[in-house]
Amino acid sequence: MLGKRDARAYQRARAHNRVSRGVTWSAAVAGRRLQGESSGDRLTLYISSLLIACGICLFAGIQATFARSARGQDRVYLAFGCLSLLVSVYLALAASFYQAESVSTAAALARAEISFGCLIYPTGIWFFSLYTGLVHWRRWVTVAALIFAPLLVINLSSPYSLLYTDLTMRPPLVLPWGESVHDFSGTESPYLTGIYYTAVDACFLWAVCCCVVLWRRGRGARVWSLTLYLVVQATASVHAEVVNYHGGRGLTFDSLAFLALVLLMSGVLRRELQRRNQALAVSLDELRSETQRREGVEADLRHLAYHDHLTGLPNRHYMHERLQAALASTEPDDGALILFDLDHFKIINEALGHDVGDELLKGVAARISATAPASACIARLGGDEFALHLTSLTGTDESPAQAALRIARDITARLTAPLRIGNHDLVVGVSAGIAPLPGTARDVDSVLRQVDMALYRAKAAGRHTAVIFESGMQAQADRRLLLEKGLRLALDRGEFDVH
């Protein structure tokens, strides 16, 4: 936890204690010279070190806050960012205190410094609790806030801070390397000083206990940095006590001990963030690979669902959806559906085997694809049936139906050429039925019935020909269906006489 401050080096009850605090707003002013006695050409190492530490803490606080914003959920970065920003202001106040020209300025700076101390300790409890993974971290933060909040109010209302009842300027303090800083002494408050330092010591001991518990749990890799800071802070506090014991005329380094906390934890949190970012990058790569694999599987499944596995052509389901979209279009386009059926294909299958039959179907599919218009959709509906959906048949001297008939004849002529399958030269006949679109059909099932009737008429006409559907075919089919139904009914009733 945060250790004892420079104020700990102040003289006790019957002595005057030197107040050492300071403020700066960036490390850019670290080269500023003190405006004190004999300060003209001498080094300002101590003040510069405080200002540089202030700049480092300010940068670390801003970086941690933005790192937390980038991650969105990790509170430990926000807590460390707030702690670093408070420490940067605390160090700036310490540096400014050494440059104060009057008692009133020194009193205001001392009061501001103690105020930030009352904010630093609860914030330190917050950060330590989150970093060490305490389950009930909110309780500890609440307790620390309840302790330091009244001290903060009392400090703001006191003319010389809660630690002192008065403040006087002493002769400048000349440091061993020739740097001269202003020095002040004050009379301690008899009760509030003890309360304040008891609270500070309690925070320090609480932090030590947390580290001990985590070391015993085998989490030394997580808390070694906190342990090292506590050692540095304890060393600085012991040094401050020694200086205080010898009259309080000397430098203490409690404030700079805060820099050790910021530097150590900045490095640890930065490495943790880098490891998490690397793990996130690996996870993203794995997720991207998994997404690509799933997209590939979905594409394969979609292809299997809409394509024939033997010929690679679209299947009945694909053609059904295409025809449905064409019929539902608000801008109907004159087209046609052609249904091809191989004549006597069953004989080839039975005589030469299914392997030869499959190769024959592949050859037929390739020839239809090569002969059909580029804008046409070719599908295998099943068995030895192939469908060809034609669009945009207008714009020529032929009617859409005649254009479809011409295309159907060109394809059937191409298919009559012998196909070399293994050691066999096979010649197949092809019959075709044509249904104009949109025509009289209002749904896909009606279109398929019409093209089936036209194909049936082509087969009845002697095969190896193409026939266009006409409305009379539907009436004839209805009459045939009615006649078959009547014959079956008469047969069941025994209404036939043999002569």
Closest to 53 (Cα-Cα) out of 8, 5, 13, 90:
90
- Sign, Cα dihedral of 215, 218, 219, 220: positive
Under a CB-based contact definition with an 8 Å cutoff, are residues 260 and 67 in contact? no
CA–CA distances in Å: residue 372 to residues 233, 312, 402, 403, 407: 88, 16, 15, 12, 7
Two structure tokens written together for 86: 């408070």
Which one, of 377, 380, 346, lies nearest residue 364 by Cα? 380
Which backbone phi and psi does 335 adopt, to 5 degrees?
-150, -160
- Between the alpha carbon of residue 331 and those of residues 164, 338, 377, 400, 438, the distances in Å are 92, 21, 19, 16, 11
The DSSP code sequence of 63-91 is HHHHHHHHHSS-HHHHHHHHHHHHHHHHH
Q: By C-alpha distance, which of 7, 15, 225 is closest to 113?
A: 7
Give the active site residues: 384
Residues 6+ apart with CB under 8 A from 31: 44, 48
Tell me the C-alpha distance between 181 and 173, whole Å: 5
Phi, psi of 138, rounded to the nearest 5 degrees: -65, -35
Residues near 16 by beta carbon (within 8 Å), at least 6 away in sequence = 10, 168, 170, 185, 186, 187, 248
| Whole-number Å distance between alpha carbons of 278 and 273 | 8
Q: How many CB atoms lie within 10 A of CB 488?
A: 10
CA distance 265 to 391: 71
Query: What are the C-alpha distances in Å from 293 to residues 121, 279, 290, 300, 407?
Result: 52, 21, 5, 11, 42
